[in-house]
């Protein structure tokens, strides 16, 4: 069965990202009319949710056409990172920065998703959600306007006005990790009984452009298990780097069983769509012997385009095994 909580969260996120017409004139923005452009400081900007509630997901649009300064270059070169532990998928993008094309706004999007099958991955506020590095006149940051949505326990909407921006200047921290991530092969377990770690690629075989895609992959317990090993945390997966989107995963049953069938659930929202044939996501799998693609029975339970039209028949998701990892 598909995970309705995960799918609903993903669909809410997809519906929240439609771009509106901007005000770019092709010349960029000159920033605040009152802020001194000769004042340039390096500042850390923390976006913090102040309410004492459980937080599950966040979409934050920050429009800064009136700000004198920069959060990074155009496109994906945004100097931001999420600060929330246990984030499954995060997405950060600068629509434009110093140079804006006709119809573009100077704004960026910050997003994270904790939508999983267990409530252990929901964080308790007050909590720091995002950290961004800003270079410019900090006085002009009062011109930054935020909008979006914050989702809590049970998909309940939370008051957005509890999101606050805290600014500290005087130089950036020595470590300036941003939204760029690197692939790390996880360790499975310790001891002589541990198996090898393989990468399981899930590939969209059809020539379609999807906005939302969800599937389940069933396999016997003696084939192996996805990492981490059945402790209720999300499966360690990486969405393909060419796809701008969010994903959520879960592995059932919990805890892992013997002599049973296991199931991996995956849900993906592609911002602006993703087109096949294409590798969609890779997940780490531990096994004593090399698994075969035929060991995984994949069933697509939801597939729709950017207008939420369901694809009929459902597209095909195939499996490719890479490894074992050294």
Domains and their CATH numbers in the chain = 40-169 (2.60.40), 196-322 (2.60.40)
Q: 143-188 pLDDT, tens per residue?
A: 999 998 888 876 678 999 999 999 999 877 654 333 333 344 454 4
Distances (CA, A) of 128 to 29, 57, 98, 235, 288: 29, 13, 27, 24, 41
Question: How far apart are the C-alpha atoms of 235 and 254, rounded to whole Å?
Answer: 12
At 221 the pLDDT is 87
Angle at CA 311, nearest 5°, toward 307 and 312? 145
- Contact (CB, 8 A) for 201 and 320: yes
pTM (2 d.p.):
0.49
Tokens 């979409």 label which residue? 59
61-119, pLDDT tens digit by residue? 888 888 888 887 544 456 777 777 655 555 556 666 555 555 556 788 787 766 443 34
| Cα–Cα distance measured from residue 238 to residue 229, given in angstroms and rounded to the nearest whole number | 17
Model confidence over 188-221: pLDDT tens digits?
A: 454 444 678 898 999 999 999 998 899 999 999 8
Structure confidence at residue 145 (pLDDT): 92
The arithmetic mean of pLDDT across residues 256-274, rounded, is 82
Work out the end-to-end distance of the chain between its first and last CA atoms, rounded to an integer number of angstroms: 35
For residue 220 the two structure tokens come to: 């016997």
For residue 2, what pLDDT band results from cuts at 50, 70 and 90? very low
Tokens of 45: 């900007």
How much of the chain, in percent, has pLDDT values that exceed 90?
A: 25
Confidence of residue 13 (pLDDT cuts 50, 70, 90): very low
pLDDT score of 71: 82
């Amino acid at each position: 069965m598909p995970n309705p909580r995960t799918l609903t969260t993903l669909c809410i996120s997809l519906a929240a990202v439609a771009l509106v017409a901007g005000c770019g004139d092709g010349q960029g923005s000159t920033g605040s009319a009152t802020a001194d452009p000769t004042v340039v400081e390096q500042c850390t900007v923390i976006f913090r949710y102040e309410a004492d509630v459980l937080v599950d997901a966040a979409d934050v649009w920050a429009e800064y056409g009136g700000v004198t300064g920069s959060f990074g270059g155009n496109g994906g070169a945004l100097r931001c990172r999420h600060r929330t532990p246990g984030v499954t998928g995060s997405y950060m993008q600068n629509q434009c920065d110093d140079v804006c094309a006709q119809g573009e706004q100077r704004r960026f999007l910050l997003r994270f998703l904790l939508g999983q099958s267990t409530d252990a991955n929901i964080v308790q506020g007050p909590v720091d959600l995002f950290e961004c590095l800003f270079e410019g006149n900090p006085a002009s940051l009062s011109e930054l306007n935020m909008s979006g949505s914050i989702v809590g326990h049970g998909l309940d909407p939370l008051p957005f006005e509890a999101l606050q921006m805290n600014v500290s200047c005087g130089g950036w921290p020595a470590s300036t990790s941003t939204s760029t991530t690197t692939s790390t092969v996880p360790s499975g377990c310790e001891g002589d009984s541990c198996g090898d770690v393989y990468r399981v690629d899930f590939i969209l075989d059809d020539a379609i452009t999807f906005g939302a895609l969800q599937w389940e992959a069933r396999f016997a317990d003696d084939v192996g298990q996805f990492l981490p090993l059945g402790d209720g945390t999300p499966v360690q997966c990486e969405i393909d780097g060419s796809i701008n989107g969010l994903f959520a995963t879960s592995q059932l049953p919990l805890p892992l069983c013997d002599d049973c069938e296991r199931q991996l659930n995956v849900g993906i929202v592609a911002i602006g769509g993703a087109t096949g044939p294409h590798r969609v996501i890779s997940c780490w799998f531990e096994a004593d012997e090399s698994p075969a693609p035929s060991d995984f029975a994949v069933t697509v339970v939801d597939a729709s385009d950017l207008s939420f039209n369901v694809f009929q028949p459902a597209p095909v998701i195939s499996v490719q095994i890479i490894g074992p990892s050294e």
